Structures are given as structure tokens and as C-alpha cells.
């Protein structure tokens, strides 16, 4: 199995992002959505688009589900035969591997979580598997996931905690960039200059963190001079309790992710219990 053809079931914001990443890396992509007219941009890029999930699954080697968890369960239940023997990657929140594997005992099942930066190959994708996945199956999944950016294998129990950092993280960074741009405008910079300076500074700083091997504190100290501009800005940031604000925001998001997972699993259990009576 080449896995050079991939079906994206549910090409909303996240599904479209991974579709673009795969297309840019030479994969043949079929993207599905109920309102197929909303996929015109993907169609323009040379992808096949359809509202027929079954058709997309039949003609593809690998399947990526990017739907709400309850809808994913329904779709899998309806197409277990078509999914048999295929590589199935779920990027749905809250849907555990145990449930996926019980629905797809004869498929290679991967649970993953990525973010919208995968569209440009700059995402961070965490994935989990069980011992049922063969070495070859994991390799085929990695070939796909690496199209999205950096990839790391994690224990599934960390998925909910990682979601607000990586999955939601781009929204925080966009907020920081926006704040820097507004600050640039306030001190008289042209908008485009303020935007370029802000996002490139963040890109460069992230690259320095990734490649230097220095601690964040040490890197921050390289920018600070006694009585200088940087320490004045950092004083104002700390006076606004920015570190605490970030920590509280991510903790609240993690709690929300855990509660959503529990709520979904409880609802699923209730539905299955009713179905047996």
C-alpha cells in the first residue's frame, strides 16, 4: 500500500489545513464536506472534492477523520467495511484509541493532534498508537504526519493536556502578533512594517529556541541591558501579570478539554447502553 492517496473526511478549517499540506507534498487528496462549494479553494489547487464520504474512502489508501468525535463514530460505524485494512488517522479531539480500535479491529489506527500551522508545514503534531500497530503501519502514518511539520510520539494520556498548548497555541501567538502590531501603530510605524517586524521576530525567536540549546531565561538575558529599552518593556509586561495570564488561560483550556472528553465518553456510553436494550 503506497498511501499516496489520502481522503480527508471533514475538510473544515483543520481538515483543509492538512489537505493543503498533503497536496504540497505530492499526495493525491480527496476532501469531503457537506457543503462542497466551500471547498472551491482546494479544488482550485487540484484536489478532488466531494460530499460523499464513502466514495472518498473507497478510492483512497489512507483516511484522515477531521470531524466532531460523535460524528466520526457514526461515520466509521456506517463504513466499517470500506475502512477495513486501511490506515485510519483520527485528528478528532476526545476520541480515544480504545474506541477507534474497537470500531476498526482490522485497520491500522492512529490518534493524532495537530494545529492550523500544518497548512504551511509548520505545525506540531503529536500522535499515539497501541501495540496493535505494526512498524510498517506506523511508518506509513509518519510519512503523512511529517507533511504537517514536526512530529512527536506521546502517551495518549497527554493528549488533553497538550491540546491547549499545541492545538490551540496558534491563536495565542496570533494574539501576541496582533498586540505587537497595534503597539507598532501606536508608536507611529506603518501597518505592513509593524506586521512584518512582529511575525519575523517571533519566527526568529522560535528558531533560536529550537536550535541554540540555551534556556529561555538565558536567551531572554541576551536581550536585556541595564536601564535599557527591553527591561522597561518587560517590567510593564510583568506588571500586567502576563505569565500568570498565559498559565491560567492554558490551564482553563486543559480543564475544558478534559471535561469535553469525559462528557463525550459518557454520552457515548449512554447511547451504546440504550442501543443494547
Strand partners of residue 87: 62, 108
Confidence class of residue 76 from pLDDT cuts 50, 70 and 90?
very high
Nearest to 80 by CA among 64, 96, 57, 62: 57
Inter-residue contact 65 to 92 (CB < 8 Å) = yes
The CATH H-level (homologous superfamily) assignment of domain 169-240 is ProC C-terminal domain-like (1.10.3730.10)
Q: What is the mean pLDDT of residues 94-111?
A: 95
- For the chain, the structural domain boundaries read 5-159, 169-240
pLDDT of 271 > 90? The answer is no
Q: What is the mean pLDDT of residues 118-139?
A: 97
**CA terminus-to-terminus distance, the chain:** 41
DSSP letters for 106-139 = TSEEEEEE--GGGGGT-EEEEEE--TTS-HHHHH
Q: What value does the mean pLDDT of the chain take?
A: 95
Inter-residue contact 41 to 33 (CB < 8 Å) = no
Query: 198 Cβ partners below 8 Å, 6+ apart?
Result: 177, 180, 181, 184
- pTM greater than the 0.85 cutoff: yes
Confidence class of residue 1 from pLDDT cuts 50, 70 and 90?
very low
Query: Which class does domain 5-159 fall in?
Result: alpha beta
Q: What is the tens place of the pLDDT at every residue in 21-67?
A: 999 999 999 999 999 999 999 999 999 999 999 999 999 999 999 99
Q: What is the mean pLDDT of residues 243-268?
A: 92
Interatomic CA distance for residues 140 and 4, integer angstroms: 10
pLDDT of 171 > 80? The answer is yes
Site of grid cell 512498524: 135
Amino acid at each position: 500500500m503506497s498511501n499516496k492517496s489520502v481522503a480527508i473526511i471533514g475538510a473544515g478549517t483543520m481538515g483543509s489545513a492538512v489537505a493543503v499540506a498533503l497536496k504540497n507534498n505530492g499526495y493525491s487528496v480527496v476532501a469531503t464536506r457537506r457543503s462542497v462549494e466551500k471547498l472551491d479553494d482546494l479544488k482550485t489547487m487540484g484536489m478532488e472534492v466531494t460530499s460523499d464520504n464513502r466514495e472518498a474512502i473507497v478510492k483512497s489508501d489512507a483516511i484522515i477523520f477531521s470531524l466532531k468525535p460523535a460524528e466520526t463514530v457514526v461515520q466509521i460505524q456506517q463504513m466499517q467495511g470500506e475502512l477495513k485494512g486501511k490506515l485510519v488517522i483520527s485528528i478528532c479531539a476526545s476520541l480515544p484509541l480504545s474506541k477507534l480500535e474497537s470500531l476498526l479491529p482490522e485497520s491500522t489506527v492512529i490518534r493524532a493532534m495537530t494545529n492550523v500551522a500544518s497548512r504551511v508545514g509548520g505545525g506540531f503534531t503529536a500522535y499515539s498508537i497501541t501495540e496493535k500497530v505494526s512498524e510498517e503501519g506506523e511508518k506509513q502514518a509518519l510519512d503523512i504526519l511529517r507533511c504537517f511539520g514536526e512530529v512527536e510520539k506521546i502517551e495518549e494520556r497527554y493528549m488533553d493536556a497538550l491540546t491547549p498548548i499545541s492545538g490551540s497555541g496558534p491563536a495565542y501567538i496570533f494574539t501576541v502578533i496582533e498586540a505587537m502590531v497595534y503597539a507598532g501603530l501606536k508608536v507611529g510605524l506603518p501597518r505592513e512594517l509593524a506586521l512584518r517586524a512582529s511575525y519575523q521576530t517571533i519566527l526568529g525567536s522560535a528558531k533560536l529556541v529550537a536550535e541554540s540549546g540555551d534556556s529561555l531565561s538565558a536567551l531572554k538575558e541576551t536581550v536585556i541591558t541595564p536601564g535599557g529599552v527591553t527591561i522597561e518593556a518587560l517590567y510593564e509586561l510583568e506588571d500586567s501579570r502576563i505569565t500568570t495570564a498565559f498559565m491560567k488561560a492554558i490551564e482553563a483550556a486543559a480543564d475544558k478539554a478534559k471535561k469535553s472528553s469525559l462528557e463525550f465518553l459518557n454520552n457515548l456510553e449512554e447511547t451504546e447502553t440504550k442501543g443494547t436494550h
